Amino acid sequence: MKIRRKFNVGLIKKTLCYSTNEIAELFSIHKRTVQTLYKEGLMKIDDRKPFLVKGADLVAFIKTRQKQHKKKCEQTEMYCCKCHLPRKPLSGTVELIFINKRQIQLQAFCSICKTKIFKFIKPAKLEEYKKIFMVNKRQY
Ligand SMILES: [Zn+2]
């Protein structure tokens, strides 16, 4: 689920309530995507339909999300798109893929949700990463 990073939360009136449709319009996303946001923790006033969300809760939710996106990965971590957080690779193992002379891609699986995670590094840094991860070269 993508919310444009620079979404202006100033557009949301904290004192108003927003319906699923209005939220979808606000973010230019599909209604069904808003349902996903509920599952991810966006608070509704109650479970009666149509669902309503307090503007203040909506602002808090977006701000937390934007902050999470900004959260930089430690050297030992890779960003997981599913968890929306930097994660450690499963069993510390990464696969090495040479993209070109200036870039190496490390591939691994998220230690929490098992989704594929990536990180791009400079070849000069490879030795450093070899100390942190079990680096396997991909066999073709
Ligand atoms: Zn994950």
Q: Cα(117) to centroid of ligand 1, in Å?
A: 8
User: Which domains are assigned to the chain?
Assistant: 12-70 (1.10.10.10), 78-137 (no CATH)
Contact 104, 122 (CB under 8 A): yes
Q: What percent of the chain clears pLDDT 70, i.e. is strictly above it?
A: 90
CA of 11 to the centre of ligand 1 (A): 31
Q: How many helices (H) and strands (E) does the chain have?
A: 4, 8
Cα–ligand 1 centroid distance for 93 (angstroms): 15
Residue 128 reports pLDDT greater than 60: yes
- pLDDT tens track for 28-38: 889 999 998 99
- The predicted-structure confidence for 55-98, as pLDDT tens digits, reads as follows 999 999 988 877 766 667 889 999 998 988 899 999 999 999 98
Task: Compute the distance between CA of residue 97 and CA of residue 59 in angstroms, rounded to an integer.
Answer: 40
Residue 66 is predicted with a pLDDT of 75
Q: Ligand 1 mean position to 13 CA, how many Å? A: 33
